[in-house]
Structure 1
């Protein structure tokens, strides 16, 4: 009987489950572990996205070099006809990023938003999109996709004043250089590697720009990379600036971006814009130099050091 009683007692103990207190303790421990691990997971994901972004820029830099080797000059930013609505430099690079089939559909004699260029306007291209961004088709509600357009995460450097280098010598009261200072210009103003007299490793060729998340309207040309008027950025403001940006012909709503970007209309022409380098990466932007190297530029960079890096013929001495 005693043996049977002990067996029953042991069996009862074996069947007993967790108490409420024990369960709460386990849940609390799991919560603490998740809280500790989540930032590490997020950092690892961002590191992977940044690595892919760097790879994209390297591919764009290589495409630029291959274009230059083929034509002995850099591609046109675009033409000034139709107020900058022409096919941009990124359309001209298509054969050099394994997009020859799309390139063959382009009609350079008409606007980028012409019906003949619909595939170019509406097709997302992975190498032109940073994975830290969210790709949204602009004006997706427009009839027959007439004005629908992809936004790109990258833009070519058009100098360190405004978009078209207007009145560069008087832009900020300090001599910079004349309108020939950028390797990427409108119209017939194309340049070769020999024009980068500041040094190809010291001059920024391509960097990051933000993607507008508004799919209902035009909302300015910032990062509308299919168009000549949206495929460039300037070095007038530092990367990831908190200052208000001159949007040129039309401003945007700051809330249209994942990080609010204030805008003011300082000019009724798109080439008055001061589009800045901008990214979703914490602390700065990735930038590809004319020699094809890619580096991370901190948003705390001195404004004059950044303006020196975004000129090609300024003669500045850039410190290490």
Structure 2
């Protein structure tokens, strides 16, 4: 009998399950581990997204160099004598990012909107989209995509004051020259890499801009890269600025951005715009220089250093970030 009792006790002990307290302790431990691991996972994902963003800008930089090798100048930016609704720099380099078929659909006669170039305006292009941003088709509610436009994550640098490189914003005296704050072709002026006298490795050519997530309206031209008027940014404000941005002809709702960006009208036309470099990456933006090298620019960069980096012929001493 004692032998049977011992066997029964042993079997009973072997089949005993977890108590409620033990189960709660295990769940608590798992919760703590998840809480500890989640930030690391998020950081790893953001690092991967930032690396992809760097790769995108590198490809854009190389495409611009290939364009320059082909035509001996950089693409047309617009604005001096042309409508800001013309096809942008990003449309003109499509053959150099393996988008020949889309390029062949372009109509360069006149504006890019009002029903023209619908495929170009509405086709998402991976290399023009930072994975940390929310890809948005503006005016997606327009019938037959008549006014719809894809918003991009990148823009070319147009200088260190405003789009027109003049005193519309009561410019504070830093060196500038009208319609020449960039090496991209503007109006009848043809510019190229030879005009980057401050050094191609010291001057910013392309950087990030924020995507407006409101898909129902026009909401201004910030990051509407399909048009010349939305394909640029300036160095007047620092990266990831919290200051009010001159929206040019039309402002936006600050809440339309993942990080609120306030807006004001400084002069009422596109040429007054001071669109700033802006990203969803913590701490700064990726920027591609005129030599096609890409680096991360901290948002704490001295504003005068940033303005020097975003002017091609300022003669300033361009120090490291």
Does 1:227 find its partner at 2:230? no
What do residues 52-93 of structure 1 show as CA deviations (whole Å, max 9, x unaligned)? Answer: 000000000000000000000000013567741110010000
The equivalent residue for 2:166 is 166
Query: Aligned runs of 1:193-204 on 2, under 5 Å?
Result: 193-204=193-204
Query: Aligned runs of 1:1-320 on 2, under 5 Å?
Result: 1-78=1-78, 83-167=83-167, 171-179=170-178, 180-184=180-184, 186-320=186-320
Unaligned runs of at least 5 residues, structure 2: none
What do residues 123-175 of structure 1 show as CA deviations (whole Å, max 9, x unaligned)? Answer: 0000000011110100000111111000000000000001121238x843324
Normalised TM-score (structure 2)? 0.96
| Partner Cα separation in structure 2 for residue 5 and residue 40 of structure 1 | 53
| Partner Cα separation in structure 1 for residue 255 and residue 172 of structure 2 | 32
RMSD (CA atoms)? 1.4
| Partner Cα separation in structure 2 for residue 190 and residue 42 of structure 1 | 45
Unaligned runs of at least 5 residues, structure 1: none
Conserved 8 A contact 1:164-1:185: no
Cα deviation for residue 115 of structure 1 reads 3.2
| Partner Cα separation in structure 1 for residue 194 and residue 184 of structure 2 | 13
Conserved 8 A contact 2:61-2:290: yes
| Partner Cα separation in structure 2 for residue 12 and residue 185 of structure 1 | 86
Conserved 8 A contact 1:208-1:287: yes
Conserved 8 A contact 1:287-1:295: yes
| Partner Cα separation in structure 1 for residue 91 and residue 260 of structure 2 | 29
| Partner Cα separation in structure 2 for residue 311 and residue 110 of structure 1 | 30
Quick check: which one's helix share is greater? 1
What do residues 252-295 of structure 1 show as CA deviations (whole Å, max 9, x unaligned)? Answer: 11110111111111121011110000000000000000011000
Normalised TM-score (structure 1)? 0.97
